[in-house]
C-alpha cells in the first residue's frame, strides 16, 4: 500500500510539474523587428537582462546607427550604475553589446526565437505583411508581440495562424528608463502566452499592467484625449481661455506633471498624435474625444512635428 501511495504521489507530482511547464514559455532568445528608438530600446533592456537578442531592420546603415545609439545609452546607464567602479561599467556595456546581433533578414533569424517583438511603422498593412511572412518561418512555440500604441492587436494577429500565441507588449519611450509595460491580451491570446509575456516584462525589470485589446490600451486612452483637450483649450484662446504656455505651466505646477501637454505633444510627435486620433475617429466618428483638431492638422500639414523637426507648438534650436 505504501508503495502504491508513493507511486501515486510521484505520478501526481510529475503531472503537476509537466502541467506547470506547459503553462509558460521561458523567453531566452528575442528577435526585435525595427531599429528605431523603441526597437533599439527594447533590444537594449532585453540584452542587459541576460537575453540573447537579434535586432532586425531593412539596412545595415540603420542597424549600425541603432547599435551606436544602444552603446551610447548603455554607457550612460553604466556611468550611473557603476559610478564607483568604471571597470565593471565597461564590462557591463561590453557584455550587453555581445548579446545583441543584427540582421536585415527577419525570416532567417526567427526560427530560433522564443519571442518576436515588432516595433515598426504604425501601419496595419505593413505589420500584417511582416507577421504573415514570419509566421511561416518561426517555430511553433514562438510568441509574436507588437509594440503598437494605437492599432488593435487582434487586427495584427489575424494575419497569422498563431492568434493564441500573439499579444501586445507596449513599452514607453525611453525604454531603458520607463518602467511600465502594457501587456495586451486579445480574446484569442492564450493564458500561457499572456503569462509568458508578463514574466518576460518582469525579467526586463519592468512593471507590467494588463489590459484587454481596447483602443489606446490604458495610458494612451487616457493621455491622448487629455492632450487633445489641451489643444482645443488653446484653439479657443481667442475667446479668452488660455495660451499654450499658461496651460503647460498650470499642469506642471498645479497637477505635478513633469511636462505640460504641449511640451509632451512636441516630444511624442504631432504626426504620431494625429495618426492615433485619426484612427480612433474612424472607429467612432461621434465620440467628441476623438474629433480632429484644426490646429494639429495644420502643423502636421506643414511638417512641423515637434522636437524631431525643430518646430511644433514650440520652436527648438
| 35 assigned binding-site residue | yes
| 57 assigned binding-site residue | yes
Catalytic residue, chosen from 149, 196, 201, 293, is: 149
| 256 assigned binding-site residue | no
The per-residue pLDDT for 237 is 64
Of 173, 48, 180, 46, nearest to 115 (Cα)? 46
Q: Are 178 and 294 found together in one domain?
A: no
Q: Are 149 and 233 found together in one domain?
A: no
Tell me which residue range forms the domain holding 234: 219-309
Domain end: 212, 245, 280, which one? 212
Q: Convert 238-261 to b/e letters by CB count within 10 Å (16 or more is b).
A: eeeeeebeebbeebeeeeeeeebb
Q: Which residues contact 261 (CB under 8 A, 6 or more apart)?
A: 226, 227, 230, 231, 247, 248, 251
The CATH number of the domain where 265 resides is what?
1.10.1040.10
Catalytic residue, chosen from 182, 196, 201, 293, is: 182
Catalytic residue, chosen from 66, 113, 220, 293, is: 220
| 122 assigned binding-site residue | yes
Q: For residue 15, tell me if it sits in a domain.
A: no
| 37 assigned binding-site residue | yes
Q: Are 206 and 226 found together in one domain?
A: no
Catalytic residue, chosen from 66, 113, 146, 170, is: 170
Q: How many domains does the chain have?
A: 2
Q: For residue 316, tell me if it sits in a domain.
A: no
Q: Are 235 and 305 found together in one domain?
A: yes
The per-residue pLDDT for 175 is 96
- Is 220 among the catalytic positions? yes
- Is 182 among the catalytic positions? yes
Q: For residue 245, tell me if it sits in a domain.
A: yes
Q: Are 53 and 125 found together in one domain?
A: yes
Q: Are 257 and 208 found together in one domain?
A: no
For each successive 10 residues of the chain (317 residues), what is the average pLDDT? 48 44 83 96 98 98 97 96 94 97 97 97 95 98 96 97 98 95 98 98 98 94 96 79 92 97 95 92 91 95 96 94
Strands 166-171 and 180-185: antiparallel
Q: Are 293 and 193 found together in one domain?
A: no
Q: For residue 8, tell me if it sits in a domain.
A: no
- Is 207 among the catalytic positions? no
Distance CA 144, CA 132 (A): 11
Q: For residue 225, tell me if it sits in a domain.
A: yes
Q: For residue 75, tell me if it sits in a domain.
A: yes
Predicted model pTM: 0.86
Domain end: 194, 212, 230, which one? 212
Q: Are 201 and 236 found together in one domain?
A: no
The per-residue pLDDT for 8 is 44
| 308 assigned binding-site residue | yes
Q: For residue 314, tell me if it sits in a domain.
A: no
Q: Are 101 and 185 found together in one domain?
A: yes
The per-residue pLDDT for 61 is 97
- Is 141 among the catalytic positions? no
The per-residue pLDDT for 57 is 98
Q: Which residues contact 187 (CB under 8 A, 6 or more apart)?
A: 154, 213
| 39 assigned binding-site residue | yes
Strands 143-146 and 115-118: parallel
The CATH number of the domain where 154 resides is what?
3.40.50.720
Q: Are 116 and 225 found together in one domain?
A: no
Task: Compute φ and ψ for 164, nearest 5 degrees.
Answer: -75, -20
Q: Are 84 and 194 found together in one domain?
A: yes
Q: Are 59 and 185 found together in one domain?
A: yes
Q: For residue 9, tell me if it sits in a domain.
A: no
Domain end: 189, 212, 235, which one? 212
Amino acid at each position: 500500500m505504501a508503495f502504491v501511495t508513493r507511486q501515486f504521489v510521484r505520478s501526481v507530482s510529475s503531472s503537476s510539474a509537466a502541467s506547470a511547464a506547459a503553462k509558460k514559455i521561458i523567453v531566452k532568445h528575442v528577435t526585435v523587428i525595427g531599429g528605431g528608438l523603441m526597437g533599439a530600446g527594447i533590444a537594449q533592456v532585453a540584452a542587459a537582462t541576460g537575453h540573447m537578442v537579434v535586432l532586425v531592420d531593412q539596412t545595415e546603415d540603420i542597424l549600425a546607427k541603432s547599435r551606436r545609439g544602444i552603446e551610447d545609452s548603455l554607457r550612460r546607464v553604466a556611468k550611473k550604475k557603476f559610478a564607483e567602479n568604471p571597470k565593471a561599467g565597461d564590462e557591463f556595456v561590453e557584455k550587453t553589446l555581445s548579446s545583441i546581433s543584427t540582421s536585415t533578414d527577419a525570416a532567417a533569424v526567427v526560427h530560433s526565437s522564443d519571442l518576436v517583438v515588432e516595433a515598426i511603422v504604425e501601419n496595419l498593412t505593413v505589420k500584417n505583411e511582416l507577421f504573415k511572412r514570419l509566421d511561416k518561418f518561426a517555430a511553433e512555440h514562438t510568441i509574436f508581440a507588437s509594440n503598437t500604441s494605437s492599432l488593435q492587436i487582434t487586427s495584427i494577429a489575424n494575419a497569422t495562424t498563431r492568434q493564441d500565441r500573439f499579444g501586445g507588449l507596449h513599452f514607453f519611450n525611453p525604454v531603458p528608463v520607463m518602467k511600465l509595460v502594457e501587456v495586451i491580451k486579445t480574446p484569442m491570446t492564450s493564458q500561457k502566452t499572456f503569462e509568458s509575456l508578463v514574466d518576460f516584462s518582469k525579467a526586463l525589470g519592468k512593471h507590467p499592467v494588463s489590459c484587454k485589446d481596447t483602443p489606446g490600451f490604458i495610458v494612451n486612452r487616457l493621455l491622448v484625449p487629455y492632450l487633445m483637450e489641451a489643444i482645443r483649450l488653446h484653439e479657443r484662446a481667442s475667446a479668452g481661455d488660455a495660451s499654450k504656455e499658461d496651460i503647460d505651466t498650470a499642469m506642471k505646477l498645479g497637477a505635478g506633471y513633469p511636462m505640460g501637454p504641449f511640451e509632451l505633444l512636441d516630444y511624442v510627435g504631432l504626426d504620431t498624435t494625429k495618426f492615433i486620433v485619426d484612427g480612433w475617429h474612424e472607429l467612432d466618428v461621434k465620440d467628441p474625444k476623438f474629433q480632429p483638431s484644426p490646429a494639429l492638422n495644420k502643423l502636421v500639414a506643414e511638417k512641423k512635428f515637434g522636437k524631431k523637426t525643430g518646430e511644433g507648438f514650440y520652436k527648438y534650436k
